[in-house]
Structures are given as structure tokens and as C-alpha cells.
Amino acid sequence: MTSLFAIVDGNNFYASCERVFNPSLEGKPIVVLSNNDGAVIARSNEAKALGVKMGVPAFEIKKLVREHGIQVFSSNYELYGDMSRRVVETLQQFTPNLEVYSIDESFLDLGDFYNTDIQAYARTIKTTVLQWTGIPVAVGVAPTKTLAKVANRLSKKSAKANGVLVLTDKHHIQEALKRTEVGDVWGIGRRYAKKLAAFGVITAWDLSQVTDAFAKKHLTVVGHRTVKELRGEPCIDLEMVPPAKQNICTSRSFPRNLTALTDIEEALATHTVRCATKLRRQKSCAGALTVFLQTSRFAEQGELYFNSHTVRLESPSSSELELLHAAIAALKKIYRNGYRYKKTGIILQDIVPANQVQLSLLSSGNITRDSKLMHTLDNLRERYGHSSVGYGVQGTGKEWEMKKEHISPCYTTKLSDILKVRAR
């Protein structure tokens, strides 16, 4: 039995999502901005061609936007998340053995199809996803996940491949690796690429040829796995069921600097409620939490501040009331007067399954009461939206709510938006 993996990813996914429901964007340059409309996080091919780089601050491309009519969007995760779900449901028609790797990427185990016309099957996957969802995708197929990633990447660069590349032949794999820079290999980032270059390891092919001892010494056991995968030896399994998260974090930058404790408290309280909701969704409790507070990374020396404080809970909890109480107390420990703060957040840690939590005799009454309340809140928010019920300490959000000046309608999830678009 020979292994075979496909990786299917959406081309310029966020930009493509914006296009699906607004055909007038076809052929135009599009960029999507991060939270607070801060930096570029997605670009259409046309925007890439104009030289818009990933991660540049929005204010740096203002001139380019004006001159070339670049269409600018605030990120709309409600829309992208829903489109992502549609793509995954389509892919599930092709195999149940599927791993949702990120919002725009899925791995498929195609091992059962080894002796069929893989090229044709991969092509069918691509055209079906486009037909059913409107999202253009690329498909890379190979005996390991890492090689499938290589194939996927090259499939977008070659006009002949046109978004579908199957690498099963030994010589084709060698050719592909020689055409791939080591820094473009899945698992090899900028730091490692630089380190490897010093040893004359420039291409993915070079990396596949290093000794096991070299790989372990310089890239740890993780990098060693990558090397073996490049040689065609599968080391990274398909994860069909996502493992429960060990840390859950919610944080945001403020649209402008904040100085008052009350404003920061409001923001942190809102992050805490969100974070606790994520915690309960995976049916877990947290044994500890860390709150952090920081000024802008770009602040001058002397105006820079970063601090965090960790609180251990008496027993693991998923109650917002308890988490809010602990989070606000932690914030007060690290807040200093006089700084201009840019960001706060909360990290839930020591996460355990909710059904494993030992009830301490002292607090068991509260736990029952709280869990009923939390259940009710979760249902209300599910039905009426996240901001439908909250706490006084969350405030009105005036000072810290995200900037979203270029948000598109939630074409698929929000009734009022759907009606608005239909009327236009």
C-alpha cells in the first residue's frame, strides 16, 4: 500500500471570498486588511502584480490604492468562515478521510485511489469546488504531506499544471524539489532557511539529501521529519479529528492607544467572554489564565511596556463569572498609570476536559449554578449573535472596538445583509 495525500487550498482565499458575491470585482486588484484595517493579509493576483506585499501597513499602500483602483476590504471572518465550511463539505464528497488544516486548506488521504487516474480525480476536485462554491482552488498530490505541499505550490506557478499537480514519479519529485527553495518547504521558516544556506543547502532537493544526524542536530526532530517526508517517507499523519486545544487565546489591538484602566477593562472583559465561549465549545475547563497588556511594539524606548500576570484557579473552570473576576484582578496587577496601551489579551491554560474536573466541596454549589447560566448564555449568543448578552463591565465598546471601515456584507450568514444585497 502506497500512501498518497492531496492538499487543496483556496487561491488568495479571502480575496476570492469577496469576489464570489460581487462579480464586478473579477479581474480587479483586491486586498483584505487585518483587524483594525491595520495591514494587508490577503491579495488577489492583480494586487500581487502591482507589488503589494504581504503584511505591509495599510497606510503605506494608500497611493497605490488610489492610482490603480485597488479594492480594499476589512476582514470579514463571518463570511470567510462560512465559505470555508462550504469548501470542506464539497471536499468531503471525494473522501471522508479529510483533515481541515486551516481556514483555506484541507489535506485529503487519497491512498485508496493510488491505482486510479489520480490526475483526472484531482482535476475533478478542483472543478467541482469551483462550481459548487465559486472558490478557485489548487490541488497538490504526493506520497507525503510535505511533498503534496510542494506540488500544490508548483501547481500555481506553471501554466501547464493550471492548479493541479500530481507528484508520484521519482524523477518528477526530484525535478520539483530542485525548483523549490528550501525556505518554501513546509516547516522551514526564515530562520532555518538562513541557517541552512550557510551550509550550502539552498533547494528542497539539497535538504532531502542531508544526513539524518545533520537534520536532527540543526533542525531538531521536527525538521528531521520534514527531511524524511521530502524523501518520500510519510511521517506526518492525517489528523481527521482536531485535538482539543491546550491554550486558548483571545486578544486584539485597540484602534488607537488607550490610557484609562476602565477602557482596557472593558476590552479585556469582552475578550474573556469570547475566550471562555471557545473553551466551552470544546467542552473544556481551564486551570489557569494569563492576562497581558502592552504598548505598541513601535513605541519609543521609555514608552515601551509589556507585562503579564498568571492566575491559578482553585479548580479548573469554564465559568465566565469566575474567569472574568480573575482576569480583571490580573489586569489590575499589571496596569501602570501613564503608558499609552495598544493591546490586551487573555490566554487560558492548563486545559482539561470538563468531565474530568473534580468538584471541590466548597464550590460545587456555584459550579452547578454557573454551568446552567453559561449554557443559557451560549444558546442566546448562538441564536442572537455574540453581543446579544453580556456584562456591565464590557461597557459600550466606544473606545476600543475594532475599526472596520471597508467591511463587506455577510452575504451568507446575516439576514439583514442578505436582504440588503438582494434589494440593490
Partner DNA sequence: TCTGGGGTCCTAGGACCC
Residues that bind DNA (CB under 7 A): 34-36, 38-39, 41, 55, 57-59, 101-105, 149, 185-193, 220-222, 243, 245-253, 256-257, 278, 296-298, 342-343, 345, 347
Q: Closest separation between CB of residue 350 and DNA, Å?
A: 9
Nearer to DNA, 130 or 235 (CB): 235
Q: Which amino acid is at 124?
A: T
The helix/strand count (H/E) of the chain reads as: 14, 12
Give residue 393's Cα distance to chain centre: 29
C-alpha distances out from residue 146 to 4, 13, 111, Å: 11, 21, 15
Q: C-beta of 325: minimal distance to DNA in Å?
A: 21
Distance, in Å, from the CA atom of 395 to the CA atom of 265, rounded to the nearest integer, reads 9
Burial of 393 (0-12, 13-18, 19+ CB in 10 A): middle
Query: Least distance in Å: CB of 223 to DNA?
Result: 8
Task: Please identify, using beta-carbon distances, which residue of 217 and 372 lies nearer to DNA.
Answer: 217
Nearer to DNA, 160 or 190 (CB): 190
Q: Whole-number minimum distance, CB 39 to DNA, in Å?
A: 4
Q: How far is the CB of 419 from DNA (least distance, A)?
A: 30
In the numeric block, which cell numbers belong to residue 314?
482553585
d(CA 319, CA 364): 12
Cβ proximity to DNA, 89 vs 239, nearer residue: 239
Nearest residue (CB) to DNA, 124 versus 251: 251
As a whole number of angstroms, the distance between CA 135 and CA 13 comes to: 8
283: left (phi over 0), alpha (psi -120 to 50) or beta: left
Instruction: State the minimum distance, in angstroms, from the CB of residue 71 to DNA.
Output: 19
Q: Which is nearer to DNA, 69 or 298 (CB)?
A: 298
SS3 361: coil
